[in-house]
A and B are shown apart, each in its own frame.
Chain A
Amino acid sequence: MAKKMNEENKNKGRYILYSLVFLVLGFIFAFSYRTLGKDSGETAPSPTFQEEEQYRADLIVQKERNKELADEIRSKQAEIREFEQSFLRSEENHAELVNEAKDLRLLLGVIPAVGPGVRVTLKDGDYDPVEQNPNDYIVHESHVLRVVNELKISGAQGISINGQRISSNSYIKCTGPVITIDGRTFPAPFVVEAIGDPEILSPSLNLTGGVIDSLVHDNIVVTLEQLKELKLPALRDES
């Protein structure tokens, strides 16, 4: 009888030990399953990367939308101009108003402009071993600004830099070796095109002690051309 009891106790102890073993086993399995399963999820792109991707995608969508809207504006403006033209034909006394609107638009840069004008090209000076500081012979945004201001003062109707139309709201910013105009970066050489009377624009640039003189003094290669016909694109501001 005692032996049987002993046997039973032994069996009980064995089961308890087994349950302990299985408890540990189950715990290890479940835990590693949970942990390693999570790990495989973590090898996927990190949250910051995903966030960046998300922002990039959003930006692309926004840019596309902007482009669409800019195109829409352009077509709408063309419509308006057509409408005004028809107006011009039908009612002679409004001709003056329509012409004024056209001039104002030219000033704003929302329509492409064609006409006689000047082209000023600003190039970095040649590398001079004596000049240690490269700042002394590259074109800075201040030089471009000076040219633009002089052209504006001299009555230029429309100005563009490297094909980017300048409006009254435009900004020109120095961003290292390049300049940023309305959010677009442009490298040297800078081609400043202005529509206006070349007979007025070029002498005003060429004044003694004027803009071109000071630019040349700053080791910048300046070329000035007078053109019979110049074409400026409309203002692009989708980006």
Chain B
Amino acid sequence: MSRFLRNPSALVGLVIVLLLVVPALCAPLLPIADPNEANLTNRLAPPGSDGHLLGTDSLGRDILSRLLHGLRLSLAVAISATVVAGFAGSLIGLLAGFYRRWVDTLLMRSMDMLLAFPYLILALAIVAVLGPGLLNALLAIAVVNIPFFARNVRGATLLWTRSAFVEAAVLSGRKRPAILLAEVLPNVVPTIIIALSTTLGWMILETAGLSFLGLGAQPPTADLGAMLAEGRTVMLVHPHVGLLPGVVILILVVGLNLMGDALRDVLDPRLSQGVSAAPGAATVVERGGARAAGAENAGPVEDSFVDVRNLTLSFSAEAEGAPAVQDVSFRLGRAEALGIVGESGSGKSVTALALSRLVPSPPARILRGEVRIGDTDVLRASPSALRQLRGRRVSYIFQNPWDSLHPMIRVGEQVMESLRLHGPVSRAAARRRARELFEQVALPDAEAALRAYPHQLSGGQCQRVGIAMALANQPELLIADEPTTALDVTVQKQVLDLLRQIREEHGLALIFISHDLGVVQAVVDRVMVMRRGMVVEEGPTAAVLSNPRHAYTQQLMAASPVLGRGRKQDLGEAPADARGGEGA
């Protein structure tokens, strides 16, 4: 609740709604005229005239009074219709989503029948049968909104019903109806609330609409839609009579929708995790004043190709917390291979992405440091210089092979795009080159693979496409971010062999990120162990593995069981502070 009130749009919405609803509720108590008291001698008085703050309509009735009473009516009808539709629709959705099979087919196919009508048309048909009138309009509007609730609630129910905790409840001996009520329903409630709040605004519009068409509230009842229709007849000379009810509807619905949006932001778990922030083109570099100490005299060092100094990066979400990457420095020569190892939260992937400013901003900000790749000063590079660096001189292989490729573009096209982004290459030439690359990464049937979409390939094949794409422009630096984590062990070995082979043939520099010391050592010359954004230990692979100096490295090595050591091995006691590290 407090989170809801801290949301600015919720606050604005709430104020708007209260400003309208409170006077409307108090309308009978306020010192205003009776809404139906006609006075033909004082017709169409302009706003501000004596005793009629907003003037009078064509029968001389007080517009303010009619507005407030109309508002009461609209709210009452809209809320009742929302409750009826919400209850019926949610019940249908819950049952369909939970019991699936024939229950689902039966209920949702009936909903499809209702959805086959544009909803206002269906409402018209219902009113046609029942006859015009406010109650019938209410019923019509409620019925046409049932499918909306049913669909939303069914979707949520289905999602939660498939989740592991529902199966866990089965293993706890819970009966099916109890699972629906005690396990699934509490998780579906936010969806229902969101749907209710979204619908309320529509209901107001729809009630007013039917009344406007003369099918809802009948004269002389004060109703916003009916007032609008009446005002239309005198629109030419007295526009306020028709405009005012519309303004009231608009403001009320804006208020309700603002509250609805805020409610959704608070209740939708995906949105509260900050899903809505889309990253920009490059990580923001923010230099609070001078450069970090020690980086002052940083010129390119002769033998190093990659030179990182005091790189510090923070995700603004954790405002006061420790930076995600803190004072990381390392160098890498041409044709050298470095492994960066660490557990989740160690900052290893962030470091790798930061090398070409691919860490999503917002929320990431680079606070200080230097990154040089060849003669490019990455943190000061212009957008176009960055684009020339990326994919041309520095390329990436990512962790999740399927998600990293565009799902709807043929993989051949995607490799060709890499080629054509960095120079004038004809389609035919790009295609020949893509074919060569596919053969080089040992994709079986390269010709067919060019025409495949990612979902038609296995994980290992997708990763080979990813590697082919990374190699397209013969980069000088290849950065592989957990490239085998999502793969099966036997496939992992093949991909590692391929990477090793590529290194030998192309003589490129390689940075290999992994959570697994064992995987890294198969490919790299040097390792760097990271923990909580800092470098813990760095050295030649063999030296670090045979004689780890830092306690954390020792613990990491002891932690994973080794095949062939059987039950004898002791997976090691965590150092004192590792327990704290595991806490949430």
Answer yes or no: are A and B bound together in one complex: no
Q: Which of B's residues lie within 8 Å of A, judged by CB?
A: none
Q: Which of A's residues lie within 8 Å of B, judged by CB?
A: none
